Amino acid sequence: MAKMVLLCVLVSFLLMPLASLALTQDFCVADLTCSDTPAGYPCKSSVTANDFYFHGLAGQGKINPLIKAAVTPAFVGQFPGVNGLGISAARLDIEVGGVVPLHTHPAGSELLFVTQGTVAAGFISSGSNTVYTKTLYAGDIMVFPQGLLHYQYNAGTGAAVGLVAFSSPNPGLQITDFALFANNLPSAVVEKVTFLDDAQVKKLKSVLGGSG
């Protein structure tokens, strides 16, 4: 293993002709074998057109039966070409009755293009707790400001599909239910900081695989 890592470092240097190192930085395709930095991953040395191309949103994502929906990311981890470019993508597949539960993207705003079906979407402002909701049909777009709680659910009679863009290569995705119930945060703490009832917390911890 140690040998593999050394190799990685060496290859990275060998592929990068020193003379051209600093000519320009039109782009910086992520080298995911290196540590991330606050501004994104170090740049890969050898780049082709394929680095700027992503096929993984072409088909339906893997539906999570719990939410009858799939969120398929094309963030920097899946699509290294977006590193440093201030943008990334995802695909939503929402079956009839499905929902992308209440969540935030801590590091980016979201732009949703509905390409099929009918989606009810909303976000909630901080401070005043105002709710902004729309029913979106194929062709409609909606923007969700960075860091605010929002949701989408299928409001139609057939499957819904959305293409999503983010204002960051790595926007993050924090689903409130998963943050509360899919880990080992003790039930007593969850109850204290949310005012939810003990039975409710334990029920959802059980559904989502949490402990404590």
- Which position among 46, 64, 96, 126 is part of the footprint of a second copy (CB under 8 A)? 126
- For the CA atoms of 121, 124, 129, 133, what is the dihedral angle to 10 degrees? -30
Chain centre distance of CA 54: 15
Tokens at residue 183, please?
């880990």
- Which position among 72, 95, 108, 205 is part of the footprint of a second copy (CB under 8 A)? 108
Residues 147-176 that bind a second copy (CB under 8 A): 147-149, 151, 153, 163, 165-168, 170, 172-174, 176
| Residue among 10 and 158 whose Cβ is closer to a second copy | 10
Residues 46-75 that bind a second copy (CB under 8 A): 48-50, 52-55, 57-59, 74-75
Nearest to 75 by CA among 141, 165, 175, 176: 165
Q: Is 55 annotated as a binding residue?
A: no
- Which position among 61, 63, 145, 202 is part of the footprint of a second copy (CB under 8 A)? 145
Contact by Cβ (8 Å): 112, 152: yes
Tell me how many degrees the CA angle 204-110-60 measures, rounded to the nearest 5.
70
- Which position among 94, 105, 118, 187 is part of the footprint of a second copy (CB under 8 A)? 105
Cβ 23 to a second copy shortest distance, Å? 4
Q: Which letter does DSSP use for residue 117 in this model?
A: S
Give the residue ranges of the annotated binding site. 103, 105, 110, 150
Where is the binding site for oxalate, in residues?
105, 110
